[in-house]
Amino acid sequence: MSEEKKDMSLVKKVFVFALFSAFLVMGILSMQRAMPAHKEERIYKAIEVYIPYYLEKRIGGLTILSKKDENFKEKPSAAEVMLRLDELEKEWAKKHLSIHNNDLIIRQEDNTTVKIFIQTPQERAFIKSFFGI
């Protein structure tokens, strides 16, 4: 009988440990998924000036607004706001960005273009992987 109690106690301990571990792993994975993508600082800051989307802090959380469209307003959940902003930036980039030699060309709404020199292979790789161009 005591041997049987020891086995049940061990099973309970293993179960509690496994349950704790599962919740810990799920928490870590959800945090990683909610993190925005890494951005090359110099090139992203140069592009960011022309991207029409920006975040505004409000009492209810963060809101995504557009510089071009006054009616555009999105309020994604706190966990999804950075991911949604990245999605909007990528959609914008597909229409307005292109690479020619070592220049990133930004086509603005008024059909003017801006050239930004790509200095490093890491910046080129970031543009291709993040913006998909």
Residues 25 and 133: their CA atoms lie apart, in Å, by 34
CA distances from 94 to 21, 38, 51, 127 (A): 41, 19, 12, 11
CA distances from 59 to 7, 37, 55, 84, 93 (A): 53, 26, 13, 19, 30
pLDDT tens over the chain, length 133 residues: 566 766 677 788 888 888 889 989 888 887 777 676 678 889 999 999 999 999 999 888 889 999 988 899 999 888 788 889 999 999 999 999 999 988 999 998 888 999 999 999 999 999 999 988 8
Q: Where are the domains of the chain?
A: 1-34, 35-131
User: Would you tell me how many other CB atoms lie within 10 Å of the CB of residue 133?
Assistant: 14
Residue 62: exposed, middle, or buried by beta-carbon count in 10 A (0-12, 13-18, 19+)?
Answer: middle
In this predicted structure, what is the pLDDT of residue 3?
67
pLDDT tens digits for 17-54? 888 899 898 888 877 776 766 788 899 999 999 999 99
Q: What is the DSSP-derived secondary structure letter of residue 127?
A: I
User: Would you tell me how many other CB atoms lie within 10 Å of the CB of residue 65?
Assistant: 15
Q: Is 53 helix (H, G, I), strand (E, B) or coil?
A: strand
Whole-model pTM: value is 0.72
